[in-house]
Amino acid sequence: MNKKVYMAAGYNTVSLGTGRKEFHPKKPRPGIEHYIKEAGQGTLKMLGGAKNVDEGVVGNFMASRFVKQAHLGAFMPMIDEGLRHKSSLRVEGACASGGLALISGIKSILAGTADTVLSLGVEVQNSVKAIYGADILAGAGWFQKRKEGHAYFFPGQFSNRAGAYWDKYGKEKARKAHATWFKNAIENARLCPTAQEYDNKMPDLIDVGMMEPNSKSFTPCLNVFDCSKVSDGASAIGILSEEGLKRAGIPTSEAVEVVGFALKTDNITEEPEDLTKLKTVQLAAEAALEMAGITAQDVATFEVHDCFTIAGVLTTEALGFAKPGEGADFVIEGNTSRNGKYPMNTTGGLIGWGHPTGATGVHQAVTIWEQLTGKAGEAQIKIPQDRPYGMSLNMGGDDKTVVAVVYKKTE
């Protein structure tokens, strides 16, 4: 990269939905304006105010359908009067919309059009019943195929991936890996006060995760615990140049350096060549790691896009930690747990923390920033001195749009 790029001042709202004590489907809940304002103001406070921000970007997937609100870039001045008439826009790439908000900010810093960008992701999805929400979320895929898909479209897509993995490598081992991934997600979420599953008190998580899928009530190869949450929430973070850090009065020790990033896309109208591989995730990860000049083995912690447990398992293979079919063993052996060699999703990921789709990529960045700067509270893990890196992988549309970012702990 032609200059140093940093991230700092991350902020997450609560991920609200089923599982949170304050959530009630029949009672009024905060609207999208509330989440944009809370996350934006939380980050601005740490950046020293709106005067220090040059541009803003909002990542969002489907507010125009979930809450009938488009034109989200123009909500930036609502956050703070000091953002009025400054450059802002909204970006969209399905569940990778938050990642695109990061990419947009990084490129503005590299282009020299800004020294500080307020990158924000937001989604409100509990505005409709689940079956209608599934129809809206199907827009992350090629909607022409909607009628041929499962009623719960994306659970059906990833159930197909899970089924293919079972057929190729064995059901029993795969199901145990899915349950182990679920267990890790909930245990990590219990350590993060903003997580949707923070109050989860289930006693035997493996037993719950091993519940046999039922095609009559849901999908053939995934149960409801294999799925990410229907969530409302927002996350924000500052993306800054060295000058931006100075202006905000933030020392480099309170920031992380972006040392690699990549955006890879595939043809949304085509089916995957191999349901047991996340090829675009693999290519994005390889490109970002190459830019950073490191390997996946040098990374201390990962935030990966576990929209479904099978996606988590397949990502371990896409990263090269396990050979095809051995990702299940890698997970079962504890390598991805918070005490494992490569801790993943330390605040719960999409399954435990929640998945407000447009916010997820930004939430991943906030979590990595917290871990590498020692700000993760009870969820904090140890970052080895010889592996001062974190990595996020944000996927949209079943491996169609993938954003990978590599972060480095600073001194």
Q: Cα separation of 238 and 117, whole Å?
A: 6
* 136 bridge partner residues: none
Count of CB atoms situated within 10 Å of the CB of 391: 27
Give the residue numbers spanning the domain of 158: 142-227+261-353+382-409
- For the cut 90, the answer to whether the pLDDT of residue 148 exceeds it is no
pLDDT one-digit tens code per residue, 296-339? 999 999 999 999 999 999 999 999 999 999 999 999 999 999 99
| pLDDT per residue as tens digits for the range 200-240 | 999 999 999 999 999 999 999 999 999 999 999 999 999 99
Q: Rounded mean pLDDT of 364-383? A: 98
Tell me: do 223 and 234 sit in the same domain: no
> In this structure, are 35 and 121 located in the same domain?
yes
Same domain? 310 vs 391 = yes
Q: Are residues 188 and 265 in the same domain?
A: yes
Q: What is the pLDDT of residue 141?
A: 92
What is the pLDDT at residue 102?
A: 98
Kindly state whether residue 372 falls inside one of the protein's structural domains.
no
pLDDT digits (tens, 9 = 90+) for 150-184: 888 899 999 999 999 999 999 999 999 999 999 99
Q: What is the largest CA-CA distance in the chain?
A: 58
94 in a structural domain: yes
Both 272 and 241 in a single domain?
no
Give pLDDT, residue 411.
Answer: 83
Q: Are residues 109 and 168 in the same domain?
A: no
Q: 373 lies in a domain?
A: no
Does residue 360 lie within any of the structural domains?
Answer: no
Q: How confident is the model at residue 383, as a pLDDT?
A: 98
| Same domain assignment for residues 98 and 245 | yes
Q: What is the pLDDT of residue 150?
A: 80
Distance CA 134, CA 114 (A): 38
Q: Phi and psi for 333 in degrees, rounded to 5?
A: -75, -5
Q: What is the pLDDT of residue 149?
A: 78
Give residue 146's pLDDT.
86
Looking at the fold, whether 218 and 287 belong to one and the same domain comes out as yes
Please report, in angstroms and rounded to a whole number, the separation of the first and last CA atoms in the chain: 20
Q: What is the pLDDT of residue 152?
A: 85
- Structural domain contains residue 103: yes
Residue 147 lies in a domain: yes
Q: Count up the domains in the chain and report the number.
A: 2
Asked, for residue 321, whether it belongs to a domain, the answer is yes
Token digits for 18?
Answer: 């089923």
Q: What is the reported pLDDT for 227?
A: 97
In a domain, residue 134? The reply is no
225: nearest Cα among 244, 241, 211, 237: 211
CATH of the domain at 74: 3.40.47.10
pLDDT at 111 over 90: yes
Are residues 10 and 150 located together in one domain of the fold? no
> Which pLDDT does position 375 carry in this prediction?
98
175 and 300 in a single domain? The answer is yes
pLDDT of 287 > 90? The answer is yes
239 plus 169 within the same structural domain = no
- Say what angle helices 279-292 and 309-318 make with each other, to 10 degrees: 50
Looking at residue 200, its pLDDT comes to 97
Mean pLDDT computed over every residue of the chain: 97
Which residues in 179-232 belong to E strands, given as ranges? none
Say yes or no: 114 and 165 in one domain.
Answer: no
Mean pLDDT of the region 239-266: 98
Q: Give the gyration radius of the chain's Cα atoms.
A: 20
User: pLDDT for 120-131, tens place per residue?
Assistant: 999 999 999 888
